[in-house]
Structure 1
Amino acid sequence: MTEENENLDEVLQDESQLEQLLEEAANSDEQEVVDELTPEQQIAELQDKNVRLLAEMDNVRKRAMRDASESRKYAAMPLITDLLSMTDNLQRALDAADAADSVESLKNGVDMVLQGIVQIFQKYSCQPIPTEVGQAFDMNLHEAVGMQPSEDHPANSIMMVASQGYELYDRVLRPSQVIVSSGSPQSDSDSIDAESANDPVDADEPATEE
């Protein structure tokens, strides 16, 4: 058994030496080829390699641009695919309303479609912006479409939600449109009276006789 191991070691050693000799011979041949080239030929070979490298880089850039264009072109496909089912449900609701001749059935159908759309929004991380009556107005989340005096709502608070806003992750897609309270009418009239009292009296105006 020991003799066989020794023979095996010798064979492996011989193979290793053979591979080393072959590698040295290959390197020697390559060096001889390079040495045989004239400076002009070496420059031409380097230029050829440079041209091939630039061409490959250009192909990679074009493929990347084409892939990016395709991604942008079909980016909305998953969302549209999900919305197609909502158009089917809306059509079914209209058909059911015609058959039943009932406003209630139409209402139920539209409500079902609305809930489905909300679920699709949630799937794509699109959430409604929390907006409630009485909430303080936030210019980062809300858009004031009107301002009215109110006895029931303090100044700069939301007194009516005109349209719901939505955000995608942490980015506002559309702010909630709201009507903001300017405070009680009495406060407004008091401020107007105070401004009038502070107005300077025109010296040219004649004094009022008692």
Structure 2
Amino acid sequence: MKNHEQNINSKISLNGQNNRTIEQENTIEQENTIEQENTIEQENTIEQENTIEQENTIEQENLLESELNIRILHLEEKLIQYQANIRDLKLRSQAEMENIRRRTEMDIERIHKFSLEKFAIELLPVIDSLELALEVTNKENDLLIPMIQGVDLTLKSLLNVMNKFGIKVIDKTNIPFDPSIHQAMSVIECENTPPNRVMSVMQRGYTLNDRLLRPAMVTVTK
């Protein structure tokens, strides 16, 4: 009887221990479950934080890339404008150099053409004197014939040299009066000649490369 009670008490004690063990295991399992849940939650939180950080990083990278693209575009526009300015400056420089070259050539040509102008003007009275000498000298005097021939030859040689250097004589008659090369000294009536025509030349005029040195003194019809 006593042994039977002891056995019962032993079983009860064993059952109690088993119950406590099961309860402890359940507690441990719950703690593990909670810990796992906490771990998962922490991992999710970390993952969310990493995701947010990655998104922020991507956003910053995109923003930086956008700023860089804007700066690159701005620099490209500046480069295009700079190249256009360089081309414009080059064209302007070439045009200016061409203008300088042309002006220089024209100046040189003008100097070549009109360098004799002052000398030619000073020479005209000499020609006038030779022409006057031929007009007033008595050509019937045999003693004066050699002198007349010498003066005539000198005058012709001088006129040939002047013509060679672009000095032309204005001495044509029966042509329209041209105030740019003629100076009217007198006006006469002529029935058979239209008005405003050169009838005679009192003093010959001269041009140097089409520039007037001296107008011809003429008689004009009215």
The TM-score by the shorter chain falls in which range?
0.3 to 0.5
Quick check: which one's helix share is greater? 2
Computing the radius of gyration over CA atoms, which structure comes out larger, 1 or 2?
Answer: 2
TM-score (structure 1 length as normaliser)? 0.38
